[in-house]
Amino acid sequence: MKKQFIYLWLVAAFLLTVARAFTQPIDPWKLSVTKPDPSGYFGITVANGMIGLVSAPAPFTVKEVVLAGAYDQYGRGRVSNFLRSFNLLNCALEIDGKLMDNREVSNFTQTLDMKAGAFTASFDYADKARVVYSYYALRHLPYTVLMDIDIQPKKNISVRVASIMEAPDALRDVQNYYNEIDRPHVVLSLLTSSAKSPAGKLLLCASNTFLFEEKHGHEPRVIHEMWDNNRHLMKFSKELKANETYRFAIAGSSITSAHHDDPLNEAERLTIYARLEGRERLLKFHAQAWNELWKSDILIEGDAQAQQDIHSMLYHLYSFAREGTAFSPSPMGLSGLGYNGHVFWDTELWMFPALLTLQPAIAKSLVEYRFQRLEAARRNAFSKGFRGAMFPWESADSGVEETPVWALSGPFEHHITACVAIAAWNYYCVTQDKNWLRNKGYPILSETADFWASRVERAGPGQYNINNVVAADEWAENVDNNAFTNAAAKANLRFATEAAKLLGLSPNPDWALVASNIPILKFPDGVTREHASYQGKGIKQADVNLLSYPLKEITDPLLIRKDLEYYEQRVPDQGTPAMTQAVFTTLYARLGDRNKALHWFRDSYLPNLNPPFRVIAETKGGTNPYFATGAGGVLQSVLMGFGGLEITPNGIVQLKSVLPAHWKKLTITGVGPDKKTFVVQQ
């Protein structure tokens, strides 16, 4: 009955999409809403890989600000948690001495321009003015944001604008500052706050300033006002004439002691830098950075809604990570505090391949995150009685195990270690960077291979068992010889051997011996068995099917289809994460079955979308967006499924694949270090 309901839902969604296509064009780059409903509103994120701004359904309001790498131990689970940072872009507007009342707001529209990395809102206020504002997480300045505001008076009015700095409730020992720096060519007004994280581990700081277009000496006078310990503001007043647009901006910076040794002074320095760069230069360099990213794109002809949705997924992955860091995105990226901001296999197996294919420099940051925590992984292996390096199931800033103790995945979901190693190997395969392989990739590969060689229980030829694990299908706890864990371990061992040979080193011969003796279990009819005690129960998420892609453990098309047809019947319609259906899509596309590939493509994300910006939740009907893991899986289904791209030891190649019947053409641009273009046509 559930499956019939989901099928009917998908048909209805498809018909609605078709009907919409005939009534209004679907913009491939813009997501818009008019009169956002606060009761059914799921914000969308503007981010630059370091700082994330989450939208709210009210004018001049940002719901929350999230900063990559800012963790402290507090709240649920006795583990490190992502922290909300200072909200530094909220504003208050008075017109003719009266604070703006949202009940008098009309024609309120919000639009995310994914190509420009800009969130724009506009509204009419009574009969007095039209207001348009846009905010940006500046792509070229990792800790800096900008809000650009136009007030268009319909009659002569007086306005008072306040920029509000607000500390989240979880922070403590808040200190508020206001400084004016007077120079012959400029006056800088700095609204600044600092606070300690809940357990005192971090110092969080933020600062902002107004950017006026008036010449020096004619700017509005700025006044500071203290409300309470957690909130203060600066404001200015201005007389405006009818039909003469008044423009100003607010630039701000947020940084913590996890990012800089002197975050308080640095926050003000960064804000001063933005102020003296000026609005035009800030927007120019921001646009250039996003234009560069979008040289690597996915273009779909024949399905306008899929094109918009794929752009949204790619936009979010680009927004949640950046080049030149050692940070790695959590399942919800910078869209909030979901999963405590921890890093799982979601990064390496689901998000990383799409980023590696289209943005190798960003993907490098994700592997650097693991490399810098290799010593913590060594200590983790040692504490469990193993050799080498064992990466934690949930990781935060230090690289120690951060899984709450009630979750058995912490001590037992060991396949994460192989996922990290496979990502490192794939980074080398795409970039062919032997210096990186020698200095960073091989240490990861060799240490993780040593872990698996010590982890197996040697019971004879073909019986080097990996017992007592939580499977990739997390409903299978404390089972033996899980299919994905075993196959991923084999890949890890083989890649370490291959890497050693490439570097002119002598691989540990035990790696190849262990790899050749780890079993992959089968049912009598040849279907791959998920684990030693598996009898056909429902599964939480993909496990066995990952042996075909991405692990390439199973390559025979007949066996791939046999496993698909068995396990696709065992995924419940609800309550499971979005990635599984994306794997089915990839495999069916490679098998040439365009109809089943399209079915699973739609099922992989359409039932997970939330209004008003079609943000993806983790599960069908879920309310915890944005699920970057699912987006990574769907992007892989387009890149590696319909697009046929394959990562090999010699780089990226293209396999034979098929498109959905109504897709006319798929073009993938900016692939790999050489920025190649791949095309699939009907």
- Residue 427: how many CA atoms within 13 Å on its side-chain side? 33
Please measure the distance between the N-terminal and C-terminal CA atoms of the chain and give it in whole angstroms: 35
CA 413 vs CA 86, 188, 424, 479, 616: distances in Å: 35, 53, 19, 10, 25
Tell me the Ramachandran region of residue 139: left when phi exceeds 0, alpha when psi lies from -120 to 50, beta otherwise: alpha
Interatomic CA distance for residues 111 and 31, integer angstroms: 5
C-beta separation of 489 from 551 below 8 A: no
Sign of the C-alpha dihedral, residues 609, 610, 616, 617? negative
Among residues 221, 216, 212, which one has the least CA distance to residue 279?
Answer: 212
Q: Can you tell me the distance from the alpha carbon of 460 to that of 456, in angstroms, rounded to the nearest whole number?
A: 11
* Residue from 323, 474, 477, 646 carrying the catalytic annotation: 474
CA distance 396 to 472: 20
Which of 224, 294, 210 has its CA nearest to residue 252? 210
Cα Dmax for the chain: 89
Pairing of strands 172-183, 186-196: antiparallel
In degrees and rounded to multiples of 5, residue 19 shows phi and psi of -60, -40
**CA dist 271 to 12, 169, 367, Å?**
49, 24, 31
Those residues with Cβ within 8 angstroms of residue 39's Cβ, 6 or more apart along the chain or in another chain:
none
Measured CA angle at 307 (ends 302, 312), to 5 deg: 175
- Taking the CA atoms of residue 269, residue 274, residue 275 and residue 278 in that order, the dihedral angle to the nearest 10 degrees is 160
Per DSSP, what are the bridge partners of residue 223?
235
Please identify which of the residues 219, 266, 447, 618 carries the catalytic annotation.
618
CA quadruple 303, 304, 306, 311: dihedral, nearest 10 = 140
Is 618 designated active site? Answer: yes
C-beta neighbour count of 618 within 10 angstroms:
22
- Chain centroid to Cα 286, Å, comes to 19
Looking up tokens 């969308």 gives 44
Contact status, residue 424 vs residue 488, Cβ threshold 8 Å:
no
- Contact partners, residue 386, CB within 8 Å, separation at least 6: 451, 454, 455
624 contacts 306 by C-beta, under 8 angstroms: no
Q: Which residues are catalytic?
A: 474, 618
